[in-house]
Chains A and B, each alone.
Chain A
Amino acid sequence: MAPPITRHKVRDLDVRMMRAGAGAPLLFLHSAGGMPVWTPFFDKLAAQYDVIIPEHPGFGDTPAPDWIRNIGDMAMYYLDFLDSMGLGKVHLAGHSLGGWTAAELATRNCTDILDLTLIAPAGLRVKGAPSGDNFIWSAEESVRNMFHNQKIADAILAMTPTEEDSDRALANRFMAARLGWEPRWHNPALARWLHRISVPTQVIWGGNDMLLPPVYAEAWKAGVPDVRVEIIPECGHAVTADKGDACAATILSFLARS
Chain B
Amino acid sequence: MHFTGFTLMPYRSLDMEARHKERSAWVVLPNSLYDPVKGADEYESHISLLTRAEDLGFDAIAVNEHHQTAYGIMPAPNLIASALIQRTKRVKIAVLGRALPLTNNPLFIAEEMAMLDNMSRGRMIAGFVRGIGTEYHSTGTNPVFSHERFHEAHDLIVQAWTRPGPFEFEGEHYNFKYVNCWPRPYQQPRPPIWIPSQGSSETVKWAADPSRKYQFLVTFSSTELVTRYLTAYRNQCTEFGYECSGDQLGWAVPVYVADTDEKAKEEAGRAIETLFGDFLPNPWEMLLPPGYTSMSSMKQTMKLRSSLGKVRPTADMLIASGTALIGSAKTVRQKISEMVDRTGVNSLVTMLQFGTLSDELTKRNMDMFASEVMPHFRK
**Footprint of B on A, CB under 8 Å?**
133, 135-139, 166-167, 170-171, 173-174, 176-178, 181-182, 184
Nearest residue, chain B, Cβ from A133:
B137
Q: Which 7 A-B residue pairings sit nearest by Cβ, starting from the closest?
A: A177-B290, A181-B142, A173-B290, A178-B144, A174-B290, A182-B142, A182-B140
Contact between A170 and B141 (Cβ–Cβ < 8 Å)?
Answer: no
Q: Determine if B311 is an interface residue (Cβ-Cβ < 8 Å).
A: no
User: A170 touching B142 by the CB < 8 A rule?
Assistant: no
Q: Which residues of B contact A137 (CB under 8 A)?
A: 285
Q: In the assembled complex, which residues on chain A have CB atoms less than 8 Å from the CB atom of B141?
A: 182
Most A C-beta atoms less than 10 A away, residue of B140, B144, B298 = B144
Verify A177–B285 contact, CB threshold 8 A.
Answer: no
Please name 25 pairs of A and B residues whose Cβ atoms are closer than 8 Å in the assembled complex, sorted by A. Answer: A135-B137, A135-B285, A135-B289, A136-B27, A136-B137, A136-B286, A138-B283, A138-B285, A166-B299, A167-B299, A170-B295, A170-B298, A174-B144, A177-B142, A177-B143, A177-B290, A177-B291, A178-B142, A178-B144, A181-B136, A181-B140, A181-B290, A182-B140, A182-B141, A182-B142
A171 with B295: in contact, given A135-B290, A136-B137 (CB under 8 Å)?
yes
> B residues bordering A, Cβ < 8 Å?
23, 27-28, 136-137, 140-144, 283, 285-286, 289-291, 295, 298-299
Q: Which of B23, B28, B142 has the most CB of A within 10 A?
A: B142
Least distance between A200 CB and chain B CB atoms (Å): 35
Q: Please judge, given known A-B contacts A135-B137, A135-B290, whether A177 and B144 are in contact too, CB under 8 Å.
A: yes
CB distance from B294 to the nearest CB of A (A): 10
B295: chain A residues at CB < 8 Å are 170-171, 174
In the docked arrangement, what's the CA distance between A133 and B285, Å?
11
Contacts across chains A and B counted by CB atoms under 8 Å: 48
Most B CB within 10 A of own CB, among A136, A139, A171, A176? A136
A177 to B298 CA separation, bound complex (whole angstroms): 15
CB-nearest residue of chain B to A174? B290
Bound: A21/B285 CA distance, A: 39
Taken together as a complex, chains A and B put the C-alpha atoms of A171 and B291 apart, in Å, by 10
Which residues from chain B contact A177 at a C-beta distance below 8 Å? 142-144, 289-291
Closest chain A CB from B296 CB (angstroms): 10
Contact A181 B144 (CB under 8 A): yes
CB of B76 to closest CB in A, whole Å? 22
Question: Which residues of A lie under 8 Å from residue B140 when comparing CB positions?
Answer: 181-182, 184
Q: Which residues of A contact B27 (CB under 8 A)?
A: 136
A183 nearest in chain B by CB position:
B140
Min CB–CB distance B245 → chain A (angstroms): 37
**What's the Cα separation between A138 and B24 when bound, in Å?**
12
Q: Which residues of B contact A181 (CB under 8 A)?
A: 136, 140, 142-144, 289-290
Q: Nearest chain A CB to B79's CB is how many angstroms away?
A: 26
Most buried by B among A139, A170, A173, A177: A177
Closest Cβ–Cβ distance, residue B136 to chain A (whole Å): 8
Taking CB as reference atom, which chain B residue is nearest A180?
Answer: B142
Contacts of B298 on A, CB cut-off 8 Å? 170
Query: What residues of B have a CB within 8 angstroms of the CB of A170 in the complex?
Result: 290, 295, 298-299
Is A136 in contact with B285, judged by CB distance below 8 angstroms? yes
> Distance in Å from the Cβ of B131 to the closest Cβ of chain A?
14
Known: A136-B286, A177-B291, A182-B141. 7 other contacts (CB 8 A): A135-B290, A138-B23, A167-B299, A170-B298, A176-B290, A181-B144, A184-B140
Name the A residues within 8 Å of B286 (CB-CB): 136
- Chain B residues contacting A182 (CB-CB under 8 Å) are 140-142
* Residues of the B chain whose Cβ atoms lie less than 8 Å from the Cβ of A178: 142, 144, 291
- The docked-state distance in angstroms from the alpha carbon of A138 to that of B136 is 16
Contacts of B291 in A (CB 8 A): 174, 177-178
Residues of B within 8 A of A167 (CB): 299
Closest chain B CB from A183 CB (angstroms): 8
How long is the Cα–Cα vector from A135 to B137 in the complex, in angstroms? 9
The smallest C-beta distance from A185 to any residue of chain B, in angstroms, reads 12
Q: How far is the CA of A170 from the CA of B297 in the complex (A)?
A: 12
Of all chain B residues, the one with the shortest Cβ separation from A181 is B142
CA distance in complex: A178, B292 (Å)? 11
On chain A, the residues within 8 Å of B23 by CB distance are 138
B28 CB to closest chain A CB (Å) equals 8
Q: Which residues of B contact A135 (CB under 8 A)?
A: 137, 285, 289-290
Q: Which residue of B lies closest to A176 (CB)?
A: B290
**A70, closest chain B residue (CB):** B142
Q: A167 to B136, alpha carbons, bound, how many Å? A: 22
A184–B244 Cα distance when bound, in Å, is 44
CA distance A178 to B23 in the complex (A): 25
B176 to chain A, nearest CB (A): 21
- Measured between beta carbons, the chain A residues less than 8 angstroms from B142 are 177-178, 181-182
Nearest-Cβ distance from residue B81 to partner chain A, whole angstroms? 29
Residue of A138, A181, A184 with highest tally of chain B CB at under 10 A: A181
Complex CA distance for A209 and B308, rounded to whole angstroms: 35
Question: What's the minimum C-beta distance from A255 to chain B, rounded to whole angstroms?
Answer: 35
Q: What distance in Å separates the Cβ of A227 from its nearest Cβ neighbour in chain B? A: 31
| A170 CA / B302 CA spacing, docked (Å) | 11
> Which residues of A lie under 8 Å from residue B143 when comparing CB positions?
177, 181
Q: How far is the CA of A181 from the CA of B144 in the complex (A)?
A: 9
A139 to B27 CA separation, bound complex (whole angstroms): 18
* A173-B299 Cα distance, complex, nearest whole Å: 12
CB distance from A135 to the nearest CB of B (A): 6
| Bound complex: CA A170 to CA B144 (Å) | 13
- Chain B residue at smallest Cβ distance from A184: B140
Q: How far is the CA of A139 from the CA of B291 in the complex (A)?
A: 17
Contacts of A138 in B (CB 8 A): 23, 283, 285
Residues of B within 8 A of A139 (CB): 285
